[in-house]
Amino acid sequence: MTIESEQTVLTDGFHLVVDALKLNGIDTIYGVVGIPITDLARLAQAEGMRYIGFRHEQSAGNAAAIAGYLTQKPGVCLTVSAPGFLNGMVALANATTNCFPMILISGSSDRAIVDLQQGDYEELDQMNAAKPYAKAAFRVNRPEDIGIGIARAIRAAVSGRPGGVYLDLPAEVLRAALDEQTAARSLVRVVDPAPKQIPSRESVDRAIELLARAQRPLVILGKGAAYAQADDTIRAFIETTGIPFLPMSMAKGLLPDDHPQSAAAARSLVLAQADVVVLIGARLNWLLGHGKAPQWSATAHFIQVDISPTEIDSNQPIAAPVVGDIGSCVTALLAGLTLACLQPPAAWLDAIATNKQHNAERMAAHLAATASPMDFYTALRAIRDVLADRPDVYVVNEGANTLDFGRNIIDMRLPRKRLDAGTWGVMGIGMGYAIGAATVSGKPVVAIEGDSAFGFSGMEIETICRYQLPVVIVVFNNGGIYRGDDVNRSGGADVAPTVLMKSARYEKLIEAFGGAGHYVSDPQGLAKALSESIASGQPALINCVIDPATGTESGHLKKLNPQSAATHAAEPQRNDIKR
């Protein structure tokens, strides 16, 4: 609303924020309202933007982050000052770590009072608190700078390596008035915020020369490759060269998991024996053993395709860095290929095929076994079979064992359909990611959750029901963190640290908000409930009861979580327990 006076027509900071976002094609805000941003959310909605209101800022931030990943436009999360900002900052840090474009916009207190530490309402120096966890952080101190502030935030979020950006909007700036003509002139439409970065000819030639000498080449696809949306170019490079590829978790589906060149089922072999490795949008961080022995060959040479020069040599020497945007880099590599670097030696392909067959047979035996009560294999087999006919469904996956088993059992056939805990391996992303994916796509989402992981953001099922989103949640209920059969070593009445309520009826939670709840304890019931829930297009939760003794401590990350002496001492007493 504008205010007319005898001389001028006035507007305010609230209107400027909305106008600046809309000018730049941002049409959705995720958040939790309160002082001083409630009216901003109301106005955004009144002006045609979609506002998705959450129960906790961390989930709102996760939704914004995954929306940014899926659309290549920064998702926007709106929070109140101080505690609300701090809740949202967990998602901001996670977005920055995972290279998801996101903007956290928070209202804040009076700068003059904050800077003198005089005790304003929710007083906190939010911009400086955000800086270590964001790609960039800005504060707007005058209403006429709102336009440029939002423009800078958008460009910072999506340019180069994407990430989380913090934008601080003090309450006095939001409510400040200025004339409409000055306000209109202050708005900025961002032009080409993520320009292509063409790799040097020299770097491309160096990479091709190294690849031509490879005897055991391997391509690793990271989620950066999925984010780039250069799907056809990446597929052409892999299929033209004939090089085996290994997709990281969120890169699954760039090429179908059943593609003949996929080396996922021979992961340990190819990492240990590859002599030339092409990293496309993947970093040599802990998820890849930092590129070091014993997981890798000590003599492996790396070609790294990355938009950030500072990522090169971060863990291992990179023999052939190719710096630029992934689409441009892979296009250049493809154009420069010669017959000398086509088709890897047959001995290498045969070794991978043999190892894949061996591991596939072992997996098939696990999946064919009948377990009562269900274990992870039994339950995920049922889910896999239902999703096999629905490649359009987004799969959100979190939990320790639930994530580890799910990654290996559920095949993906389309890119950017698998969303999970990512680089940090952080739990609690499930409901935010599910809501974000459903909001931007309108497609069905199946969130496969460990019971512990679900607890971090479970209240967002009310958000899912309130907006009638096509989200189906499957809670793998084994009554514990990792597993539910641990004991209190003191013999006291309190349950063990990893034990949750064994009789929890999670499906009742969604029923309280009008969604459909299902309680299942066998694979047939699970498959039926999941098929019907997806077909309905309505919110649903399936409480999938599995064996409390199934699962391992920390899932596949046991080496990162050394067990205490007491746990080791107790372990022999549990050898007879089915795992």
Domain check: are 181 and 205 in the same one?
no
* pTM, 2 dp: 0.94
Do the domain assignments include residue 153? Answer: yes
Q: Do 426 and 450 belong to one domain?
A: yes
Identify whether 363 is part of a domain: no
**Does the pLDDT at position 571 exceed 50?**
no
Mean pLDDT, rounded, of the chain: 94
- Residue 133, classed as helix, strand or coil, is helix
Bond prior to 373 in cis (omega within 30° of 0)? yes
123 and 160 both lie in a single domain: yes
The average pLDDT across 538-544 equals 98
**Pairing of the two strands 394-398 and 418-420:** parallel
Q: For residue 399, is it within any domain? A: yes
Does residue 187 carry a pLDDT above 90? yes
Verify that 411 and 558 share a domain, yes or no. Answer: yes
Give the pLDDT mean for 510-517: 98
What are the pLDDT digits (tens) for 341-377? 678 999 999 999 999 999 999 999 999 988 889 999 9
Residue 572's pLDDT band, with cuts at 50, 70 and 90, is very low
Beta bridge partners of 517: 541
pLDDT of residue 302: 98
Are 390 and 347 in the same domain? no
Cα–Cα distance, 542 to 520 (Å, whole number) = 7
Report the pLDDT value the prediction gives residue 97, as an integer from 0 to 100: 97
Based on the fold, state whether residues 295 and 438 are members of the same structural domain.
Answer: no
pLDDT at site 7 = 67
From 330, 354, 378, the end of a domain falls on 354
Residue 8 and residue 76 in one domain = yes
Beta pairing class for 177-179 and 9-12: antiparallel
Structure tokens at 197: 């970065």
Per-residue pLDDT tens for 35-75? 999 999 999 999 999 999 999 999 999 999 999 999 999 99
* CATH classification of the domain holding 227: 3.40.50.1220
Q: Do 536 and 497 belong to one domain? A: yes
For residue 361, tell me if it sits in a domain: no
CB neighbour list of residue 565: distance below 8 Å, 6 or more residues apart: none
Tell me the average pLDDT across 253-280: 98
Which residues constitute the domain of residue 420?
Answer: 369-574
pLDDT digits (tens, 9 = 90+) for 420-430: 999 999 899 99
CA distance linking residue 9 with residue 352, whole number of Å: 71
Banded model confidence at residue 563, pLDDT cuts 50, 70, 90: low
Predicted local distance difference test score (pLDDT) of residue 560: 74
List the alpha helices (DSSP H) in 99-200: 111-115, 126-130, 146-158, 171-175, 180-186
- pLDDT tens column, 349-358: 999 999 999 9
Domain for residue 193, yes or no? Answer: no
Range name among 252-261, 325-334, 561-570 with the lowest pLDDT average = 561-570
Q: Are residues 155 and 89 in the same domain?
A: yes
**pLDDT, tens only, 96-136:** 999 999 999 999 998 889 989 999 999 999 999 999 999 99
Instruction: Supply the CATH number for residue 25's domain.
Output: 3.40.50.970
Question: Poorest-confidence range of 248-252, 288-292, 337-341?
Answer: 337-341
Task: Report the b/e string of 475-489 with b at 16+ CB within 10 A.
Answer: bbbbbbbbbbbbeee
Query: Is position 192 within any domain?
Result: no
Pair 423, 518 in one domain: yes
CA distance 368 to 389: 20
Q: Is there a single domain that holds both residue 35 and residue 138?
A: yes
The DSSP code for 240 is: H
- For position 102, what pLDDT does the model report? 98
Answer whether residue 399 shows pLDDT above 50. Answer: yes
Q: Is 270 exposed, middle or buried (0-12, 13-18, 19+ CB in 10 A)?
A: buried
Within 13 Å and on the Cβ side, how many CA atoms surround 275? Answer: 10
- Neighbouring C-beta atoms of residue 442, cutoff 10 Å: 10
Q: Report the pLDDT value the prediction gives residue 387, as an integer from 0 to 100.
A: 98
> For the chain, what is the domain count?
3
349 and 207 assigned to the same domain:
yes
- Specify if 218 maps to a domain: yes
For residue 90, tell me if it sits in a domain: yes
